[in-house]
Structure 1
Amino acid sequence: MIQKAIAAHGGSVLDTSVVTFDFRGAQFRLVHDEGRFRYVRRTTDSLGQTVREVLSNDSLYREVNGDTVSLSAEERESMNTTVNSVSYFALLPYKLSDPAVNAQRLGVDTVRSTPYYRVEVTFASEGGGQDWEDRFVYWFDTESYHMDFLAYAYGLGGDEEPGHRFREAYNVREIENVRIADYKNYTDTTITPSTIENYARRLSASTLQEVSRVELDSVRVTTLRDGR
């Protein structure tokens, strides 16, 4: 089911691609090459300096005005989480094929008269990243396998206060056969981290509170050869 969803979102294109976009004042460049990856986040700090953060299979570093700077363990962890998280959500469900993913089908929900497969995803501790204890639920259209909704519970294993969110895709567009979406971000005080699968029912009942929007601007997708 997940493989069909990845294919429906343009996974074969993403396997060897360069995806660029702007997100909340930062420019991202995501490169994939048959399992190898290189993610770059570029920002300008309060002093007007260009900050470039790079995450790949085997490296993680920060440059300020072209010079590599030393990072504390806390700074490295924060940078890794930020860059990886934005990249992960931007290309969903592409990363759901990673070896650390544990997926379980929970059933079928009808949302706004459309049936969706409901799939829970958790992560193994090895290879699952700093937030491997977070829990996700995805809803895939039973015909198109498009991912129109997702819920997640965070802060389940660390110092962060636990919380949860539900996202609804909108402004869906296809760019070079890759499905890109923005998301409305909701919360509901009656939901708990252990009951996020109930979010879809709350959406149908119009009881959710919108807290933010996740929007990708100036999205561009090219093949690896053209985008180097």
Structure 2
Amino acid sequence: MSKTESAEDIIKESIEVAGGDLFDRSDINFDFRDMHYRAIRNHGRFQLERHFKDSLSEIKDVLSNSGFERLRDEEKVHLSDSLTSLYSNSVNSVHYFSVLPYGLDGKAVHKIYLGSKEIKGKDYHKIKITFSEDGGGEDFEDEFIYWIAKDSFSVDYLAYSFKELDGGMGFRFREAYNIRMSSGLRFADYNNYKPTTSDVNLENLDDLFIADKLQLLSKIELKNFEVNLLN
């Protein structure tokens, strides 16, 4: 078995134990940072929503197979291409992280097995994820690493790189906690860490975490979960 094939198999198993095909027919609601999110996935059709209030009105952002639109008090808002891209990416990002590892078996996803890693006395598969430009979304250049427990196939840690506004590279390392199942689907909250020095790369963030050399930046907590499975 090649390293690519083994990485593929490990990702598939991690998706399966997290809920697998049930995600493909689900209606998921949760709150995150004073906003409400809803994701409807129905056998290839999807509608990802974000609801919040500004000082004047109710805002509803909708990302679907048809594209992105913003509604203000149910009236469609005309947006520039740059704002459409900005809002679309921010909506997609929250929904993307909320259901990991679901989605990591997409056609635009490339997986590389980086070997084994022990973190806090537990053995993990370390897998790097990159994306094709075609089908990989706006942030196709971002790279991810997932640490998947060898005994349970749980995604307990992840890290990613991203382009900062000044053109430099930023890095984040996330530690899962409060892992729970709802209607057969796995969800988790995360401690969100950042490096404190510039002398880092994506693949050594686990060593910095083990050495307690990452700074806790925030907590990613999804609240008021409601999950309904569709037919």
| TMscore range, shorter length | over 0.9
**Residue 21 (str. 1) matches residue 30 (str. 2):** yes
RMSD: 1.5
Q: 1:163 to 1:64 in 2, by over 3 A?
A: same
- Does the 8 A contact of 1:191 with 1:198 survive in 2? no
Q: Number of residues paired by the alignment?
A: 222
Aligned partner of 1:164 among 164, 167, 171: 171
Give CA deviations for 1:77-125 in whole Å, capped at 9, x if unaligned.
0111011111101111101111111111110101111110000001100
Give CA deviations for 1:4-61 in whole Å, capped at 9, x if unaligned.
01011112221100111001111111011122211011110122x0000111112311
Q: Which residues of 2 match residues 1-228 of structure 1 at below 5 A?
A: 1-47=10-56, 49-155=57-163, 160-190=167-197, 195-225=201-231
Offset of residue 214 of structure 1: 0.6
Mapped to 2, the partners of 1:206 and 1:159 lie a distance apart of: 27
Mapped to 1, the partners of 2:71 and 2:172 lie a distance apart of: 33
Offset of residue 160 of structure 1: 4.7
Offset of residue 221 of structure 1: 1.1
Offset of residue 201 of structure 1: 2.1
User: Percent of aligned positions with the same letter in both sequences?
Assistant: 38
Offset of residue 162 of structure 1: 1.9
Q: Secondary structure of 1:95's partner?
A: coil
Mapped to 2, the partners of 1:78 and 1:160 lie a distance apart of: 16
- Does the 8 A contact of 2:196 with 2:213 survive in 1? no
Mapped to 2, the partners of 1:106 and 1:192 lie a distance apart of: 21
The amino acid of 1:189's aligned partner reads T
Length-normalised TM-score, structure 2: 0.91
Offset of residue 220 of structure 1: 1.3
Offset of residue 71 of structure 1: 0.8
Aligned to 2:6: none
The amino acid of 2:220's aligned partner reads V
Mapped to 1, the partners of 2:170 and 2:224 lie a distance apart of: 30
Offset of residue 192 of structure 1: 5.2
Offset of residue 191 of structure 1: 6.1
Mapped to 1, the partners of 2:148 and 2:21 lie a distance apart of: 18
Q: 1:43 to 1:214 in 2, by over 3 A?
A: same
The amino acid of 2:32's aligned partner reads F
Structure 2 gaps, min length 5: 1-9
Q: Secondary structure of 2:136's partner?
A: coil
Q: Secondary structure of 1:186's partner?
A: strand
Mapped to 2, the partners of 1:217 and 1:53 lie a distance apart of: 19
- Does the 8 A contact of 1:101 with 1:128 survive in 2? yes
The amino acid of 2:170's aligned partner reads G
Mapped to 2, the partners of 1:98 and 1:141 lie a distance apart of: 21
